[in-house]
Amino acid sequence: MSVIYDRVALIGLGLIAGSMSLAMRRRGLAGEVTGYARSAETRDTARRIGLVDRVCDSAAEAVEGADLVVLCVPVGAMEAVAVDIAPHLKTGATLSDVGSTKRAVIDAVGPHVPQGVHFIPAHPLAGTEHSGPESGFAKLFDNRWCLLVPEGGVDDAAMANLRLLWEGMGAHVDQMEPDHHDLVLAVTSHAPHLIAYTMVGVADDLRRVTDSEVIKYSAAGFRDFTRIAASDPTMWRDVFLSNKDATLEILGRFTEELFALQRAIRTGDGDHLFDYFSRTRAIRRGIIEAGQDTDAPDFGRGKQGE
Ligand code: NAP
């Protein structure tokens, strides 16, 4: 593939930015990739491993002359970064982000975007529980979705280029309206993370089951929760604080369903449990058919370990 942007600036140098840089490099999608992160430690690590072409010591320097700037910091840090870089953005440049919630990012960043800069918020639906500059890998976005979430009219050519970039990095691209995005993600990602955090917290509280038993006899269900519950605390704090309404709406429904299942167990209503679990099994089949997960037993863990 050929170069889509002569210069791309990544602000934040963690899992997502690192994976973007490596994915762009894999296909030669950017002439040069510059990067900036808040701490000298992260910048030094990024330099040592050659994560981007040029690590800068300020966000302003990183975005100077960039055709595309992508904010890859936690949602709660987006506004401060936007204020910092706004005067240095090139006219005609595209400003994007990868934040997990979109209404909050649009409200925080939107007012600071200078005239002549195209603001196209985005969210790649790909990640792991790891964070930091050494956690990125080029294949992270392969066969995953990236949602472009602009508000109102946006320049067609800028949209087309950003779409091409994400496709070049391996993703399928769709467009979505910001509030709808936040509701969909509350169901598919945010509420499940909160439930995993809770489940692991409950196991930790259960003093009748000792810590060592929880770890030693960790069966697949609980083990999968612990993987999710190991996700970055800063990122997830910001996700819940910035997607409050949708997450609370979904958690309300979750609580109702949980009570219904609780009643079915207490009253011995096996039909209710069986029908419910059949419905959820069909959803899992749909995810596999859509190519969004493997149907290998144990998520293919055995294979990975070979
Ligand atoms: P990460 O690995 O923790 O990296 C975050 C980066 O942001 C770090 O380099 C950090 O620098 C930098 N940073 C934090 N505050 C900053 C500030 N005020 N100014 C400049 N840099 C700052 O996080 P990530 O997983 O890549 O997540 C980045 C964004 O992607 C988040 O908005 C998240 O919601 C979104 N996202 C994450 C996932 C996922 O699964 N992880 C998936 C999709 C989208 P230091 O290291 O110096 O602190």
Atom of ligand 1 nearest to the CA of 100: 34
Tell me which residue has its CA closest to atom 38 in ligand 1: 127
> What pLDDT sits at residue 272?
96
User: In a structure prediction context, what are the per-residue pLDDT tens digits for the chain, which is 306 residues long?
Assistant: 799 999 999 999 999 999 999 999 999 999 999 999 999 999 999 999 999 999 999 999 999 999 999 999 999 999 999 999 999 999 999 999 999 999 999 999 999 999 999 999 999 999 999 999 999 999 999 999 999 999 988 999 999 999 999 999 999 999 999 999 999 999 999 999 999 999 888 877 776 666 677 777 777 778 888 889 999 999 999 999 999 999 999 999 999 999 999 999 999 999 999 999 999 999 888 888 888 888 877 676 654 332
CA–CA distance, 181 with 297 (Å, rounded to integer)? 31
> What pLDDT sits at residue 48?
98
- Measured in Å, residue 99 CA sits from the centre of ligand 1 at 9
Tell me which residue has its CA closest to atom 33 in ligand 1: 99
- 300: three-class secondary structure by DSSP: helix
State the sign of the Cα–Cα–Cα–Cα dihedral 3, 64, 163, 11: positive
Atom of ligand 1 nearest to the CA of 128: 40
- Measured in Å, residue 261 CA sits from the centre of ligand 1 at 37
> What pLDDT sits at residue 305?
31
Domain ranges of the chain: 5-176, 180-267
CA 102 from chain centre, in angstroms, equals: 11
Tell me which residue has its CA closest to atom 18 in ligand 1: 77
CA–CA distance from 267 to each of 120, 263, 271, 274, 302 (Å)? 52, 6, 11, 14, 39
Best residue for ligand 1 mutational test, from 52, 73, 129, 227 (most atoms within 8 Å of Cβ): 73
| Ligand 1, pocket residues at CB < 6 Å | 11-17, 37-39, 42, 72-75, 77, 80-81, 98-100, 123-124, 127, 131-132, 232, 235
Same fold, 5-176 and 180-267: no
* DSSP line for 121-176: EEEE----S--STTS--TTTTTT-EEEE---S---HHHHHHHHHHHHHTT-EEEE-
- Measured in Å, residue 235 CA sits from the centre of ligand 1 at 7
CA–CA distance, 143 with 53 (Å, rounded to integer)? 26
Q: Which helix (H) or strand (E) holds 94?
A: strand 94-97
5-176 falls under which CATH superfamily? Answer: NAD(P)-binding Rossmann-like Domain (3.40.50.720)
Both tokens of 183, joined, read 């509701």
> What pLDDT sits at residue 226?
87
Angle at 228 between CA 222 and CA 233, to 5 degrees: 130
Cβ partners under 8 Å of residue 194, min gap 6: 240, 247, 251
Best residue for ligand 1 mutational test, from 44, 49, 100 (most atoms within 8 Å of Cβ): 100
For the chain, give the number of residues.
Answer: 306
Atom of ligand 1 nearest to the CA of 81: 19
- Measured in Å, residue 88 CA sits from the centre of ligand 1 at 21
- Measured in Å, residue 303 CA sits from the centre of ligand 1 at 30
For the purposes of burial, counting CB atoms within 10 Å of the CB of 23, is it exposed (0-12), middle (13-18) or buried (19 or more)? buried
Task: Please name which of 82, 90, 135 lies closest in space to residue 115, comparing C-alpha atoms.
Answer: 90
Q: What is the CATH architecture of 180-267? A: Orthogonal Bundle (1.10)
- Measured in Å, residue 77 CA sits from the centre of ligand 1 at 9
Atom of ligand 1 nearest to the CA of 127: 40
